[in-house]
Amino acid sequence: MKAAVYYKTGAPDVFKYEDVPDPVCGDHDVLVHVEVISIEGGDTLNRLGGAMNATPHIVGYQCAGTVVAVGPSVTDFHVGNRVVCTGVDGSHAELRVANEKFAWLIPDGLSTEEATCVPIAFGTADDCLFEFGRLQKGETVLIHAGAGGVGLAAIQMAKRAGARVLATASSAPRLERLKEFGLDDGINYRDSDFVDECRRLTDGRGADVIVDSVGGVTLQGSLNALAYRGRCVTVGDAGRSSAETVDISNLRGNNQSLSGYFLGMELFVSPRAYKMIAHHLELVATGELRVVIDRSFPLSDAAGAHAYIESRQAFGRVILVP
């Protein structure tokens, strides 16, 4: 099969488009003929400096396509099914093996392109807002990186739940586009201090829930922008800045909390997250939630796709097509 691979981590130009051996389907696995790949934020971070499980390495969490083989113990999937699947790596290829617990049937009426963008972004957004953030109707939520996949999903879900929705983005036009998805007030983090703006927009109170996918120095600002009894969920390092020492001295006095979140672990330990993602696939299929795809690249130009994401021009997801 063909795959976008690299022999060392680094900038997008480390990618090479090569023939590699086909993956082997294990006892509880499905073998998927990949039709669309959603490039997740973690994919670019892994390519930049993450662990390599093999040389050459095939990066990538999420893809969708058609099942071409199943392991002998698999009962819920069959050859010919359309599925979306996740895993620690291997999506940037023409074939991908996934454990059955990390694959979902694509509902009728939902395109493969849209389905490939759902599990990680929508599952992460849901858990950050509700399972860990405990967001309630009438509360205020601040969502960082509102124009990204998780951000767009979180804005829609928070608005549906009756929250007031604030979000950060890098330009006024991007913030304006977010209003059709449920944004109430936007914060251009390049032109203003988001902590000051969050306080101003909430009459000094701060946000009840903050979803922080940026990390680094932004995480300290998120803690500083919390309301009394506020909850901050840290879910990523999209800012690509080095880890910071975070001052949590104000949390106790204000009865605030800071939680870390990783969807993969939830899928490992509980069927709850799996069912939640299946529900989101249905909601996208019926149009109650929307996927936004910014641009499509051929798999052979994975380098171009990753470079485009890192230019911070994308609004929504960028996909690859083998």
How is residue 15 written in tokens?
């990618």
Helix (H) or strand (E) holding 251: helix 249-253
- The predicted pLDDT at position 236 comes to 84
| CATH class assigned to 2-117+291-321 | alpha beta
**How far is residue 255's CA from residue 253's CA, in Å, rounded to a whole number?**
6
**158, 131, 116, 153: which is closest to 319 by C-alpha?**
116
Exposed/middle/buried for residue 51 (C-beta within 10 Å: 0-12, 13-18, 19+)? exposed
CATH 3.40.630.30 for the 121-264 domain, yes or no: no
**How far is residue 40's CA from residue 50's CA, in Å, rounded to a whole number?**
14
Average of per-residue pLDDT across 71-90 = 97
DSSP 228: E
Helix (H) or strand (E) holding 177: helix 172-178
> Could you read off the pLDDT of 248-265 as tens digits, one per residue?
999 999 999 999 999 999
- The predicted pLDDT at position 32 comes to 98
Q: In the predicted model, is pLDDT for residue 241 greater than 90?
A: no
Peptide bond before residue 119 is cis, with ω within 30 degrees of 0? no
Concatenated DSSP letters of 91-113: -SBSEEEEEGGGEEEPPTT--HH
> Could you read off the pLDDT of 2-30 as tens digits, one per residue?
999 999 999 999 999 999 999 999 999 99
**How far is residue 295's CA from residue 34's CA, in Å, rounded to a whole number?**
18
Average pLDDT score, the chain: 96
Domain range annotation of the chain: 2-117+291-321, 121-264
